[in-house]
């Protein structure tokens, strides 16, 4: 006979935010199928949200509290990985942009503010197309985490938002933290600075409100699983497998949706990965599989949130 499972220690219930659902204070736990249905514009069934991630990985990337995925690997100076990431902002990004243009897609583009400062041409390309700019922190070496004091984190957020708003001439109301890492203060600080939605949380297929000390903002379901870096770098799967997974995901989401109960299919593209000449064709096939379905709405994160909140 197996030993009885030991009871939880008293300290388990002493954690400040232990409660029903997840251990946090920002939203109420709920099941998607019990919520009110959401309809998209013109009776669309699926909102397809593509994010193009423009990142800057410092050559002297800090190792604490951890290295962001995709960061430097070998001892300093890791020129091999540094220049591969730089390839995305010099070469690969233009292949990705041409592909999106050809399919008539309207992506969001998440910028580290250092990318915009170092490569202003990329901001010009995005603005000229009317695409949404999303803030992605300062760079991939300056992470938000529980060890940051609030003033330091506020200065990092201000730097990112101020640069991107100034250079784009846009309000920039979406936020994706580098490595999707937050502190306990991140949401409060973002809400105080006019950010409407964050992309860090991976627990839903639809937007949901989050309560902060400075008002409500929304979590937007930018998939971590349908991310070319996640699939191909971290899961060590091929670009052909990535195409299959995007297609399979769309088949399920489309089947679960209707004209008065919409869903979102999101994916993130890293130009240093999918912009390679041996991968751009696979990315094209993945995106074409999304566009081939009926009732598809190509939308930015801001477009989706606007439709969700005004329904």
For 2-16, the pLDDT digits (tens) are 555 567 777 766 777
Share of the chain above pLDDT 70, in %: 94
d(CA 209, CA 169): 27
* pLDDT score recorded for residue 6: 66
For 162-173, the pLDDT digits (tens) are 999 999 999 999
For 199-218, the pLDDT digits (tens) are 999 999 999 999 999 999 99
* pLDDT score recorded for residue 311: 76
* Residue 22 in this model has a pLDDT that exceeds 90: no
Phi, psi angle pair for 298, to nearest 5°? -80, 115
Instruction: Characterize the bridge pairing of strands 215-219 and 208-212.
Output: antiparallel
Strand, coil or helix: what is 134?
strand
CATH class of 38-309: alpha beta
For 183-199, the pLDDT digits (tens) are 999 999 999 999 999 99
For 131-165, the pLDDT digits (tens) are 999 999 999 999 999 999 999 999 999 999 999 99
* Residue recorded with tokens 């979590």: 219
Average pLDDT over residues 91-99: 98
* Residue 1 in this model has a pLDDT that exceeds 70: no
Average pLDDT over residues 266-289: 98
Tell me how far CA of residue 267 lies from CA of 29, 141, 203, 231, in angstroms: 24, 23, 15, 11
Closest CA to 202 of 287, 298, 266: 266
* pLDDT score recorded for residue 54: 98
* pLDDT score recorded for residue 286: 98
* pLDDT score recorded for residue 174: 98
The pTM assigned to this predicted structure is 0.93
Q: Rounded mean pLDDT of the chain?
A: 95
123-292-265-310 Cα dihedral, nearest 10 degrees: 80
Average pLDDT over residues 53-62: 97
* pLDDT score recorded for residue 10: 76
* pLDDT score recorded for residue 21: 62
- The answer to whether 265 touches 48, Cβ cutoff 8 Å, is yes
* pLDDT score recorded for residue 47: 98
For 74, other C-beta atoms within 10 Å of its C-beta total 10
* pLDDT score recorded for residue 228: 98
- Residue 29's pLDDT band, with cuts at 50, 70 and 90, is confident
Q: Looking at per-residue confidence, does 3 or 252 come out higher?
A: 252
Share of the chain above pLDDT 90, in %: 91
* Residue 253 in this model has a pLDDT that exceeds 70: yes
Rg of the chain over Cα atoms, rounded to whole angstroms, equals: 20
For 105-120, the pLDDT digits (tens) are 999 999 999 999 999 9
């Amino acid at each position: 006979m197996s030993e009885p499972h030991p009871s939880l220690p008293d300290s388990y219930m002493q954690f400040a935010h232990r409660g029903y659902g997840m251990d946090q204070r920002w939203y109420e736990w709920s099941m998607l199928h019990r919520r009110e249905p959401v309809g998209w514009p013109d009776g669309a069934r699926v909102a397809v949200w593509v994010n193009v991630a423009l990142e800057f990985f410092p050559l002297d990337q800090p190792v604490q509290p951890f290295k962001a995925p995709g960061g430097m690997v070998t001892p300093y100076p890791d020129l091999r990985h540094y220049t591969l990431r730089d390839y995305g902002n010099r070469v690969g990004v233009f292949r990705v942009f041409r592909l999106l243009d050809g399919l008539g897609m309207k992506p969001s583009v998440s910028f580290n503010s250092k990318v915009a400062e170092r490569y202003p041409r990329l901001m010009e390309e995005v603005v000229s197309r009317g695409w949404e700019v999303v803030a992605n922190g300062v760079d991939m070496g300056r992470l938000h985490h529980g060890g940051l004091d609030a003033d330091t984190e506020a200065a990092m957020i201000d730097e990112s938002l101020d640069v991107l708003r100034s250079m784009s001439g846009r309000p920039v109301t979406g936020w994706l933290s580098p490595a999707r890492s937050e502190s306990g203060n991140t949401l409060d600080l973002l809400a105080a600075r006019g950010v409407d939605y964050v992309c860090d949380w991976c627990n839903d297929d639809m937007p949901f409100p989050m309560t902060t000390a400075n008002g409500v903002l929304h979590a937007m379901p930018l998939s971590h699983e349908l991310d070319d870096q996640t699939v191909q770098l971290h899961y060590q799967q091929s670009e052909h497998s990535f195409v299959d997974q995007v297609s399979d995901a769309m088949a399920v989401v489309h089947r679960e949706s209707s004209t008065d109960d919409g869903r979102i299919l999101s994916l993130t593209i890293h130009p240093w990965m999918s912009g390679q000449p041996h991968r751009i064709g696979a990315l094209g096939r993945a995106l074409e599989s999304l566009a081939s379905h009926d009732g598809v709405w190509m939308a930015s994160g801001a477009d989706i949130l606007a439709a969700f909140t005004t329904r």
